[in-house]
Structure 1
Amino acid sequence: MKSEPLSLHTEGYSTEHVSDDRIAAVLRSVRSMRENIGDEHSLRNLAQSALLSPYHFHRVFRQVTASTPARFVAACRMEEAKLLLANSSDNVTDICMQVGYSSLGTFTSQFSRLVGMSPRRFRRLMSTFSADSCADVLAACGPTVSPPERTQVTGVIDGDSDCGPLAVVGLFPSGIPQESPAACAVVRVSGVVAFDGLPDGTYYPLAVSFRSSATVADSIGDASVDHCLIGVSSARVRISGGRAVNRDSFPLRLRRRRPIDPPLVLALPLLLAAGRPNAAA
């Protein structure tokens, strides 16, 4: 059955309706990435799986996902590595090879930068906190209720009954929720968050919430599609001279994740669970 067009953000984050054909092409390439995670994924090979020319595929993929194909592949590799670390007894070197890396050093540094901790620490913390409730983790960390004295940019977070009572909002360096955000806060749904102290740069506002029944283990891999809700802004935030130059507020509407959405690479809520007072990190 033919799906309805989806309203998605483009690389420029202007909202438009993306055709079924383009969504289907991107979905074919994403499935190829995930089903062959240890293989080399050249632009030409991914374009072939999407049935598009390399140039057209790169442009369409970036329009639909707000990510380049190469960054999306790297995010999928990290997602699979997190699953293997959490659910298998394979050593880190074997996992490195299984997800497509030939160098353990490169894999470890990439994982640490994108996920927020080393592979070994991730495995240790997952064994400790995997059964913890995401709602309890967020509740212990927030919400952040004291606004800064001076506000550079404000976010308005909204969602429906599927959302948990709290969300994590961050300003990220790319359209993929990975690496340390320039700013981050726990906020009520529906609620408002204010940020200050941002260095000059361009930021992608992203929000993550979890269903009330979700555990930390549910926040990674395929399970996160059913248990995690995300919100993306219709535009990036640009800070210059200490001030927002294109917009001083952004809306974030939480929704269910889709197969064409980038993986949640940063180890939320695991990082928050380990950071709670008296947590055995």
Structure 2
Amino acid sequence: MREAVLEAARFLAADPAAPVRLGDVADHVGYSPFHLARAFTRQVGLPPGEFLAAQRFQLAKQLLLDTGEKVVDVCNAVGFSAPGTFTTRFTAAVGVCPQQFRLLPELLDDHPPRPVGVPGPVPDGGMVAGRVRLSPAASAVLDRAPAVYVGLFPRHAARGIPVSGSLLDERLEFLLSGVPPGGYRLLACALPARGDPREQLLPSVPVVGAYAAPVRIRPGPALPQWHEIALDVAPAWTPPVLVALPPLASAGAQERRSARRPVALGFGGVGFR
């Protein structure tokens, strides 16, 4: 079943703008829609419809940066029919609206990302600490100059703004604080620190990692939990990292975001139609 799921993911990622139904994907891999959907969610971490939406938003990011097309035209080009719905869902997934995303390269040119920790909304909330290590393949792709982002997300995929996040310094250690009680996924992504803004926003080779189990934050004071995350070059079927990470560590972008204030680093989808 695993090979069928991976083939389904490759099928969806090959042409995300195409009108496709779950039944079409199921027919392609020779399984019933019900069994494929369950196995797909278990293996990939997202239902097929959300995986397709993520691929469409990733394509939209590329079109916004590489073409002068209007947002409505980008919306239509990636398989959406309602610009308002596209903009709302893109913003929720990426962290900024399409118009703002298009301006990010200029902002990052003026305000490059710097190591920073952005706490969660609870001053005395939970803390998660740890260290990131890169595989030899990941280090080679990043040319020994990684910009490593770590964040806590309420779901399996890196979409939207993390509850607490950090751009690490050369020690590759992190301390995420101010985390409300609940269950989270601890996710990490490495980008080429020496790359131009476009390469940081849309890396040609994704390098990602995740802590294997959900992270549980309980009410009340507690010592930081320690977790290690291994980063490696992502397989082609892996859901893309949708959230625009570099602006979260850019002073210029942070000035525009008043809900959370950065602190110095102090430690070592659309459905089927």
The offset of 1:230, in angstroms, is 1.1
Partner of 1:230: 208
Contact kept? 1:152, 1:194, Cα under 8 Å: yes
Distance 1:66 1:243, change over 3 A: farther
Please, which of 85, 94, 112 is the counterpart of residue 115 of structure 1?
A: 94
Give the letter for the 2:231 counterpart: L
User: Aligned ranges for residues 209-248 of structure 1 at < 5 Å?
Assistant: 209-221=190-202, 224-226=203-205, 228-242=206-220, 248=225
Partner of 1:171: 152
Distance 1:255 1:137, change over 3 A: farther
1:85-122 superposed Cα distances (whole Å, 9 cap, x missing partner): 11112111111111111111111111111111111111
Q: Distance in 1 between matches of 2:221 and 2:34?
A: 36
Say whether residues 1:207 and 2:188 are aligned partners. yes
Matched length? 247
Contact kept? 2:193, 2:200, Cα under 8 Å: no
User: Aligned ranges for residues 1-281 of structure 1 at < 5 Å?
Assistant: 22=2, 24-126=3-105, 128=106, 137-138=112-113, 141-142=114-115, 144=117, 152-160=127-135, 161-162=139-140, 163=142, 164-188=145-169, 190-221=171-202, 224-226=203-205, 228-242=206-220, 248-273=225-250, 275=252
Compare 234-243 and 158-167 and name the one that shifted more: 158-167
Distance 1:181 1:144, change over 3 A: closer
Aligned identity (percent) is: 30
Point out where structure 1 has 5 or more consecutive residues left out of the alignment.
1-20
Q: Distance in 2 between matches of 1:199 and 1:150?
A: 5
Q: Distance in 2 between matches of 1:150 and 1:40?
A: 44
Distance 1:57 1:274, change over 3 A: farther
The offset of 1:172, in angstroms, is 0.9
The offset of 1:271, in angstroms, is 4.4
User: Which ranges of 4 or more aligned residues in structure 1 deviate by more than 6 Å?
Assistant: 276-279
Distance 1:154 1:277, change over 3 A: closer
The offset of 1:41, in angstroms, is 3.5
Q: Distance in 2 between matches of 1:53 and 1:145?
A: 44
Distance 1:278 1:242, change over 3 A: closer
Give the letter for the 1:230 counterpart: V
Contact kept? 1:235, 1:250, Cα under 8 Å: no
TM-score, normalising length: structure 2: 0.78
RMSD across aligned C-alpha pairs, in angstroms? 3.2
Q: Distance in 2 between matches of 1:26 and 1:225?
A: 24
